[in-house]
Amino acid sequence: MQRRGLLYVISAPSGAGKTSLCKAIIDILPNLRHSVSHTTRPPRVGEVDGRDYHFVSNAEFDAMVADSAFAEWALVHGNRYGTALASLEEVRDAGCDLLLEIDCQGAAQLKERCPDAIFIFVLPPSFQELERRLKGRQTDAAEVIEQRLRNARIEMREMFWYDYLVINDDFDLASRQLQAILVAAACRTEILKDQVQRLFGEIGR
Ligand code: 5GP
């Protein structure tokens, strides 16, 4: 019998490389699923509805908030983003682990709501490098980049209540660190004790 899926919550300032790290880790860990958030932000070129985000109108988002359909939601860079409670529970009940890429405000809400979740903060190696990466992406206007840099300084104040920090300087090293964190968290005694008891009965109790 499977254990209930774990919840991994990853936050980072925009441009720290969180999305690439998460993609890499999803490819490696077979039991891990990526949570698809709802957002009122318009799709970027190449983004697919239902794969990258569920792109919804303000009215649709309002309706979900009114229905208490979100496990968490927040206003980030002028747009709203949220994690649907139903899909989160569904994946975990099916025994799959779930990776949430969300901002610090949403993570703080989940810290209250799901105290068993594992919280990971990804950092850029420096503010200079963060700026270089954001400019290099060429997906956002100059004022958007400025806003993201200002937000990065605010978001990074939150990192100290997270369980783990990953400094994304060398991508391969950061991805191995992230993998190690996820794998180790799934081997905690607290997580495995029911499964072990089913395997070995009352031994050692
Ligand atoms: P982007 O627009 O660049 O895809 O994402 C902007 C920010 O929104 C990122 O920091 C990302 O982590 C955050 N975000 C994405 N989905 C969610 C969500 O469901 N909830 C919250 N609170 N933040 C989210």
Ligand 1 neighbours (beta carbon < 6 A): 14, 37, 41, 72-74, 76-77, 81-83, 101-103, 105-106
Q: CATH topology for 7-35+96-200?
A: Rossmann fold (3.40.50)
For the chain, list residues with pLDDT below 70. 1, 204-205
In this structure, the residue with its CA closest to atom 2 of ligand 1 is 41
- Separation of CA 202 and ligand 1 centre (Å): 44
DSSP state string for 48-72: -BTTTBEE--HHHHHHHHHTT-EEE
pTM: 0.93
Alpha helices in the chain (DSSP H): 18-28, 58-66, 85-93, 104-113, 127-137, 142-155, 171-186, 189-200
In this structure, the residue with its CA closest to atom 11 of ligand 1 is 102
Q: Which helix (H) or strand (E) holds 33?
A: strand 32-34
- Separation of CA 92 and ligand 1 centre (Å): 21
pLDDT in tens, 163-192: 999 999 999 999 999 999 999 999 999 999
Measure CA 4 to chain center: 18
Residues sharing a CB contact under 8 Å with residue 50, sequence separation 6 or more, in sequence order: 36
Q: What is the pLDDT of residue 1?
A: 56
- Separation of CA 17 and ligand 1 centre (Å): 13
- Separation of CA 81 and ligand 1 centre (Å): 6
Q: Which of 49, 102, 120, 147 to mutate to test the pocket of ligand 1 (most atoms within 8 A of CB)?
A: 102
pLDDT in tens, 47-75: 999 999 999 999 999 999 999 999 999 99
Q: What is the pLDDT of residue 204?
A: 56
| Sheet arrangement for strand 97-101 | 32-34, 97-101, 7-11, 118-123, 164-167
